[in-house]
């Protein structure tokens, strides 16, 4: 049986969940995570390498005889990780499998303008839009005037998840449009996508594809972006997730498959884009219809923390097949239970917060999983906070409420100064499901 020496790139809760899953594979050879965090070292060895430092990543590939590289986050992919590693491996006559698209495919996330045009070319349902630059700002004003409030303005390029503004007042929208074009998000907002606002419930669907028409759909999830309960306050990297969300029922998922997944994969192939890796569809369900809000070229965080625990199949051979361009799997075995991830964050996040705060308590509870996100070890070897989103407690349950309750209980036994988490993860979905039940 061939074993795969594997290098996973990234350091967040998403990578911790992927590492947890992959480390259980009987096909796993040596396993490394670069750079990893204080919780991933029980799954694989941490390497102090930045995923965007392609020289260092390739040096690790050679040193550890890596067969498979799995990209956790988008930055290296948008910057050309696949091309860089493939070129070096070819020169050396080394076989190297990579999960993650080339820069051409990664433009689905790296440029919202590209993504919107792509959806237009392939009949994929999405909000009406216009892309403007400094030279076409008057057209932007006219387009804004044709829309109803609120107004959605998006920086074209990567802006660390902060480049989307939703504005109620048209005068304010015109003003913000100019500020964005003047460099509010640096070069990322040299182009701005103006979009019609879609009202509905969001959910995230993940597809793993091999670039040759083969794909598997992972369990859908919903994340909670706002810092405050009841979806209030500032946007964050994600405060929790539910897998599966009742909005993504079978009828909805079959529309997603037909109108979004197949059209996206056919579109990529027709445009000559050899996409081997994850595609994350950020969807909104308006009535019963799916619309694409965004593409990402990786798994979601914190969705992955509730998605991975529900995958019963061995994921490693599926990743290998996708990277080889020969996906034989067409579906995964899924645990029937619901999983709920609740993220504990540092006081003040997403604004100013401290780092280096000691974490104590039960980090390996019996009833739940704890995935580290922003953690590190201090000079004494103790686990401390190293980011705003610190760790996620994930639990299985017979219902959303049951799984969420178990995750809250797990977090009650974990302590750090200023620790905060939302206690309403999944509550909107419970209400949605009750509405469906009554209807
Ligand atoms: P994005 O970075 O494109 O995912 O946008 C961030 C968030 O803004 C999304 O998760 C949605 O909550 C919201 N959003 C983006 N586009 C729209 C839209 N056209 N209509 C309504 N909400 C949107
Ligand atoms: N949870 C949203 C994202 O990963 O972009």
pLDDT, tens digit (0-9, with 9 covering 90-100), for 273-299: 999 999 999 999 999 999 999 999 999
Question: CB within 6 Å of ligand 1 — which residues?
Answer: 127, 152, 154, 164, 195, 197-198, 202, 282, 293-294
Task: Please tell me which of 2-6, 133-137, 189-193 the model is most confident about, judged by mean pLDDT.
Answer: 2-6
pLDDT, tens digit (0-9, with 9 covering 90-100), for 181-203: 998 998 898 899 999 999 999 99
Inform me whether the pLDDT recorded for 333 exceeds 70.
yes
CA of 72 to the centre of ligand 2 (A): 12
Residue bearing the bigger pLDDT, 435 or 242: 242
CA of 329 to the centre of ligand 2 (A): 25
Residue 225 CA, closest ligand 1 atom number = 10
**What residues does 208 pair with on adjacent strands?**
216, 278
Single out the residue of 134, 257, 140, 135 nearest to residue 194, CA to CA.
140
User: Residue 273 and residue 325: Cα distance in Å, rounded?
Assistant: 12
**DSSP per residue, 317-358:** HHHHHHHHT--------B-SSEEEEEEEE-TTTTSS-----B
User: Which residue minimizes the CA distance to atom 4 of ligand 1?
Assistant: 294
User: Residue 163 and residue 193: Cα distance in Å, rounded?
Assistant: 10
Q: Which ligand is nearest to the CA of 199?
A: 1
User: Which residue minimizes the CA distance to atom 2 of ligand 2?
Assistant: 300
First-to-last alpha carbon distance for the chain, in angstroms, is: 53
Task: Give pLDDT, residue 158.
Answer: 84
Backbone angles phi and psi of 249, in degrees to 5: -80, 180
């Amino acid at each position: 049986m061939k074993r795969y020496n594997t290098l996973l790139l990234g350091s967040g809760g998403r990578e911790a969940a992927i590492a947890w899953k992959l480390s259980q594979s009987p096909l796993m050879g040596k396993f490394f995570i670069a750079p990893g965090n204080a919780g991933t070292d029980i799954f694989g060895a941490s390497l102090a390498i930045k995923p965007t430092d392609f020289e260092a990543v390739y040096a690790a590939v050679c040193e550890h005889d890596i067969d498979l590289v799995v990209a956790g986050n988008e930055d290296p992919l948008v910057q050309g990780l696949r091309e860089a590693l493939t070129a070096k491996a070819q020169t050396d006559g080394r076989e190297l499998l990579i999960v993650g698209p080339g820069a051409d495919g990664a433009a689905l996330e790296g440029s919202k303008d590209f993504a919107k045009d792509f959806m237009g070319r392939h009949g994929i349902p999405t909000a009406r839009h216009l892309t403007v630059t400094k030279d076409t700002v008057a057209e932007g004003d006219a387009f804004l005037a044709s829309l109803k409030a609120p107004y959605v303005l998006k920086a074209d390029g990567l802006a660390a998840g902060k480049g989307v503004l939703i504005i109620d007042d048209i005068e304010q929208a015109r003003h913000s449009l100019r500020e964005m074009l003047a460099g509010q998000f640096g070069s990322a907002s040299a182009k701005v996508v103006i979009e019609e606002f879609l009202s509905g419930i969001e959910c995230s669907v993940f597809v793993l594809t091999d670039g040759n028409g083969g794909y598997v759909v992972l369990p859908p999830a919903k994340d909670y972006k706002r810092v405050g309960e009841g979806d209030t306050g500032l946007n964050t990297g994600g405060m929790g997730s539910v897998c599966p969300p009742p909005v993504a029922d079978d009828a909805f998922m079959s529309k997603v498959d037909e109108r979004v997944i197949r059209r996206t994969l056919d579109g990529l192939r027709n445009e000559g884009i050899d996409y081997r890796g994850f595609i994350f569809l950020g969807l909104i369900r308006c009535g019963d219809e799916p619309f694409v809000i965004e593409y990402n070229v990786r798994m979601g965080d914190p969705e992955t923390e509730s998605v991975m625990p529900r995958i019963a199949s061995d994921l490693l051979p599926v990743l290998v097949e996708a990277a080889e361009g020969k996906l034989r799997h067409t579906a995964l075995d899924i645990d029937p239970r619901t999983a709920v991830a609740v993220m504990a964050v540092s006081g003040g996040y997403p604004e100013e917060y401290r780092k280096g705060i000691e974490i104590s308590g039960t980090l390996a509870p019996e009833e739940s999983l704890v995935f580290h996100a922003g953690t590190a070890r201090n000079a004494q070897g103790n686990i401390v906070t190293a980011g705003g989103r610190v760790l996620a407690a994930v639990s299985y349950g017979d219902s959303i409420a049951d799984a969420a309750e178990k995750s809250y209980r797990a977090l009650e036994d974990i302590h750090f100064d200023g620790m905060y988490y939302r206690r309403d993860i999944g509550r909107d979905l419970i209400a949605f499901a009750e509405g469906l039940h009554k209807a």
